C-alpha cells in the first residue's frame, strides 16, 4: 500500500466518525511503509484535516454541475489540492498524477477524469483569494473550522484572540514524555531513546518532561521497560498543581487514558494510594495495564460513574476531576474536532458541574479539589468553577485558575485548584 493510499483510507475512516490518531495508526501498521513514506502519509492525513474547510472552499466552486462526490473521491481530491497549495516539496505533476491514479484504482474509477481536470485547472490558476472579513464566517474559511466554533471563541475571547488560537492550531503538536523517576532520569532516558534512534529535549518548567524531536517511541525498549509514559506538557503542569506528596490518598476521576494517574503516583514515590476511576471498564483496564508497566503498585483502577457518589471510597487528600469536555484545546492533535456539529455548551457544563459536585464529597478537610478540562470555552471552564464555588461555601479558590492556549510544548488546557476549608 502506498503512502497516499494509507492516508486516503485514514481520512475516509475519520470522515465516517473515527479519531484521526487511531485511524492513521491502524493504516500505517497495515501498510508497513518505510519511515519516509510513513512521514508522507502522516503529513497528508493531518494536513488535509487541518485545512479541510479551506480545501472545500477551493474545490466546491470548481465542481459546479458535476454532482456530489463520494467520500473517497472528495478526500483524494482534498489530498491533491493540499499537495498543490501547501506542500512545496511535492512536484505539481506528482500531486496531480498520483491523485488521479489513486482514484482510478478505487471503486470510483470513473471519477479519475474529473479529478484530473480539476487539479490541472487549479495548477494553472493557483490559490483563489480567501475571504478577509473580521467575521466568524470568513474566519471559518481562513482557519478551516466550523463557523459555530469561530463564533463561540469570538464571543468568549474577542476576534483577535480567536484568530490567533485557530491559526496556532495549524502548528504541529509535539509528543511529550513524562520520565518515570522511579526507574530512570531524564538524562538516562535521553540516552536510551538515542540508542533506539529517537531524540528528545527538555521542556521549560517541567524537569521530568522530555519533548520528542525525532523518531518514535511506540513499542520501544524504553517504553516496554516502563521508563516513561506519554503525557502532554499542559497535563503535566496540571498534575504539578495537584501537589500530590508521598503517603497521600489521591482520587483521579474520569482518569483514562491514565497519564495523570501515573504522574500523580510517581510524584508520591509509589507510596500512599492512588484510586483511578473511569466510566469505561475497557479504559479502566488500560489504566491498570499502564500502571503495571510503570511499576506503580499504589494505583488501583476500576470502572465507575464519576457523577454517582460512592461512600465506600472514603475521603482523599487530593481529588482530581478531569471532566469530559468538548476538547477544543486538543485541535492541534485532533483536528477533526474543528468540524464537529455545534453542541449545547451550557448543557455540557451542567454535566461537568454534577461530576464536580460529586467529586467534592470525597475531599477531606484541608484537602484539594482540582477541576480540569482540555477545552477553552468559558461555559465549560470559568462558568463551572464559579457556579461550584457559589454553591459550596466550604471550598475556596487557591490562586487564579490557569488557562493555557495551544502552542509551544502544550495543548489547550484549563484547571482550577480549590481547597476544602
Give the SS3 label for residue 267. Answer: helix
Residue 178 CB-density burial (10 A; 0-12 exposed, 13-18 middle, 19+ buried):
buried
Q: What backbone torsions phi and psi does residue 9 show, to the nearest 5 degrees? A: -65, -40
- In eight-state DSSP terms, residue 270 is T
DSSP state of 295: T
DSSP class of residue 407 equals B
Please name the helix (run of DSSP H) or strand (run of DSSP E) that holds residue 45, with its range, or none. helix 35-63
**Residue 374 designated active-site:** yes
CB contact set of 174 (below 8 Å; sequence gap of 6+): 211, 212, 213, 233, 409
Write phi, then psi, for 119 (nearest 5 degrees). Answer: -70, -40
Of these residues, 239, 298, 358, 374, which one is catalytic?
Answer: 374
Reference 237, options 266, 259, 198, 205; nearest CA is 205
Cα separation of 31 and 38, whole Å? Answer: 9
The closest alpha carbon to 241, from 421, 392, 404, belongs to 404
245 C-beta neighbours (distance < 10 Å), count = 14
3-state helix, strand, coil split of the chain in percent (to 5) is 50, 15, 35
Number of residues assigned to the chain: 421
**257 preceded by cis ω (within 30°)?**
yes
- What's the rounded Cα separation, in Å, for the pair 169 and 50? 8
Beta bridge partners of residue 420, listed in sequence order: 395
Count of CA atoms in the C-beta half-sphere (13 A) of 271: 7
299 three-state secondary structure: strand
Q: Ramachandran region of residue 46, left (φ > 0), alpha (ψ -120 to 50) or beta?
A: alpha
Cα separation, 132 vs 139, whole angstroms: 8
Task: Enter the DSSP assignment of 336.
Answer: G
Q: Which residues are catalytic?
A: 374
Amino acid at each position: 500500500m502506498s503512502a497516499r493510499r494509507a492516508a486516503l483510507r485514514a481520512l475516509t475512516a475519520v470522515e465516517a466518525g473515527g479519531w484521526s490518531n487511531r485511524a492513521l495508526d491502524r493504516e500505517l501498521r497495515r501498510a508497513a511503509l518505510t519511515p519516509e513514506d510513513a512521514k508522507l502519509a502522516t503529513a497528508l492525513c493531518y494536513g488535509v484535516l487541518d485545512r479541510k474547510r479551506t480545501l472545500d472552499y477551493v474545490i466546491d466552486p470548481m465542481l459546479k454541475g458535476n454532482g456530489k462526490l463520494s467520500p473517497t473521491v472528495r478526500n483524494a481530491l482534498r489530498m491533491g489540492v493540499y499537495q498543490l497549495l501547501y506542500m512545496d516539496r511535492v512536484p505539481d505533476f506528482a500531486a496531480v498524477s498520483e491523485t488521479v491514479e489513486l482514484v482510478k484504482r478505487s471503486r470510483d474509477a470513473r471519477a479519475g477524469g474529473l479529478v484530473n481536470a480539476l487539479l490541472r485547472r487549479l495548477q494553472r490558476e493557483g490559490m483563489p483569494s480567501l475571504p478577509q472579513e473580521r467575521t466568524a464566517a470568513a474566519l471559518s474559511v481562513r482557519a478551516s473550522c466550523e463557523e459555530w466554533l469561530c463564533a463561540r471563541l469570538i464571543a468568549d475571547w474577542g476576534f483577535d484572540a480567536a484568530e490567533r488560537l485557530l491559526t496556532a492550531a495549524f502548528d504541529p503538536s509535539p509528543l511529550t514524555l513524562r520520565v518515570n523517576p522511579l526507574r530512570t532520569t531524564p538524562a538516562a532516558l535521553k540516552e536510551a531513546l538515542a540508542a533506539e534512534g529517537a531524540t528528545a529535549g527538555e521542556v521549560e518548567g517541567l524537569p521530568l518532561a522530555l519533548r520528542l524531536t525525532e523518531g518514535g517511541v511506540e513499542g520501544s525498549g524504553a517504553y516496554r521497560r516502563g521508563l516513561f509514559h506519554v503525557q502532554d506538557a499542559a497535563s503535566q503542569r496540571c498534575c504539578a498543581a495537584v501537589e500530590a506528596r508521598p503517603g497521600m490518598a489521591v482520587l483521579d476521576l474520569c482518569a483514562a487514558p491514565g497519564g495523570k494517574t501515573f504522574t500523580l503516583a510517581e510524584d508520591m514515590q509509589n507510596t500512599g494510594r492512588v484510586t483511578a476511576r473511569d466510566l469505561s471498564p475497557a479504559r479502566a483496564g488500560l489504566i491498570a495495564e499502564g500502571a503495571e508497566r510503570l511499576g506503580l503498585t499504589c494505583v488501583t483502577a476500576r470502572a465507575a460513574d464519576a457523577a454517582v457518589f460512592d461512600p465506600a471510597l472514603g475521603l482523599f487528600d487530593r481529588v482530581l476531576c478531569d471532566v469530559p469536555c468538548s476538547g477544543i484545546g486538543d485541535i492541534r492533535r485532533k483536528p477533526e474536532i474543528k468540524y464537529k456539529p455545534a453542541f449545547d455548551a451550557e448543557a455540557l457544563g451542567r454535566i461537568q458541574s454534577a461530576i464536580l459536585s460529586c467529586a467534592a464529597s470525597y475531599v477531606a478537610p484541608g484537602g484539594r479539589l482540582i477541576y480540569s478540562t482540555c477545552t477553552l470555552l468559558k461555559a465549560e471552564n470559568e462558568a463551572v468553577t464559579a457556579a461550584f464555588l457559589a454553591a459550596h461555601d466550604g471550598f475556596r479558590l487557591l490562586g487564579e485558575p490557569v488557562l493555557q492556549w495551544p502552542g509551544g510544548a502544550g495543548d489547550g488546557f484549563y484547571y482550577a485548584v480549590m481547597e476544602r476549608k
